[in-house]
Structure formats: C-alpha cells, structure tokens
Amino acid sequence: MKKITTPISDEVIKDLKVGDGVELSGVMVTARDAAHKWMIETFIKKTRAPQGDDLEVYEKLKTLLNGSVIYHCGPVVSGLDTKDYKFLAAGPTTSIREEPYQADVMKHFNVKGVIGKGGMGAKTLKGCEETPAVYFHAIGGAASFLAQTVINVSDVFKLDFGTPEAMWVIEVKDFPVVVTMDSHGGSQHAVIDESSKKVLDELLAK
C-alpha cells in the first residue's frame, strides 16, 4: 500500500500503475455533476458569465485543486445549521457522468487524481496521460467507513447546489483507493469492458 499526501507531484503520479493500492492523505475537494458543469461553463469554455461569488471561489479552487484530488462524492453532512460540519457518509458516486467534463477540468486546474467508482472513458484516460493524473477507485458501499477518514471539513463552495452537489473542501487521512486508470494509458475498466464484450459476443453467437 503506497501512502501519498496531497499536493501530488507529476513524478509520484507517473510512478503509479493500474492495480496499485494507495492510502491518500491531505486536502481534496468533492465535486459532482453540478460542480463540473459550473466549472466548465463558467471558467473553461466560458459560455456562462460569472455570477455572485464565482470569481472568488475560482481563485480559491485554483490553489486547492493544483496538485490535489477531486472526489466524486455526494456526502451526508451534519452541522449544516451551525456550520460545524462533519461527514457522516462519504461513499463514491458513479464517475462516468463526469466523462464529458473531467479531462478539461483536470488539465485546467492541474488536478492529479480523481476518486469515484465505476471508472471513466477514453476522454478521461487521455486526460490522465496529458495532465498527468490517475483515476482512483474507491470502495462502494463503505460510505460510513470512508467518512471516518475525513478528519476535517474546512470549507464548502456552491452550497446553493444542494449538500450532495456542493464542493466540500475536506482533509482526509489514509483514505483507501486503488489505481484503475494510470497516466500511461492503462485502464482496468477498458480491459474489463473488452473481456465482457468478448464473452457476450460468444454467448450471442451460440
């Protein structure tokens, strides 16, 4: 098990290969559909004018995400009224929904890792090679356990998106993941898809 702390260097990323087990520590940011769409439209493709605190949040994200990790997670959070935030559940959500956005977000913010479940596609894999970055697969069905690795919730952006879709800035310790897409073009998800298709084709041919 490799222990890695954010911010992560290119050298550390390039040393990771598909199948490596990793315990992540440091600061990461949660982001799902609404956040990715907002980042793309407002700051990357600029098809939407910044509104409210968008520019202030953008400046903070440029620092927070540089060398860090995005976690596809819709957490259950206590303390919303008092702002004494605590993660009660922090399981990964399905990553493929972010496929249209992820590579562009990684390159723009220099994100070194993405955590989720289910893997991602060819566009993100190419983005992992170019940034460079990796995709980390987290344990599905272990939301309560993963929440225990969150030792601090330091900030939250775009809470108007709703608690699951907001961008939570968290500090984790020994968050367990497995590299399933690396910066060298390796993808365990592509291998599984190909082998599954082969089996399906053989069954249909009978």
Q: Active-site residue numbers?
A: 36
Residue where the block lists tokens 């608690």: 163
Asked if residue 184 lies in contact with residue 17, where contact means CB atoms within 8 angstroms, the answer is yes
Asked if residue 9 lies in contact with residue 67, where contact means CB atoms within 8 angstroms, the answer is yes
**Of residues 119, 121, 115, 120, the one with CA closest to residue 138:** 115
Asked if residue 182 lies in contact with residue 17, where contact means CB atoms within 8 angstroms, the answer is yes
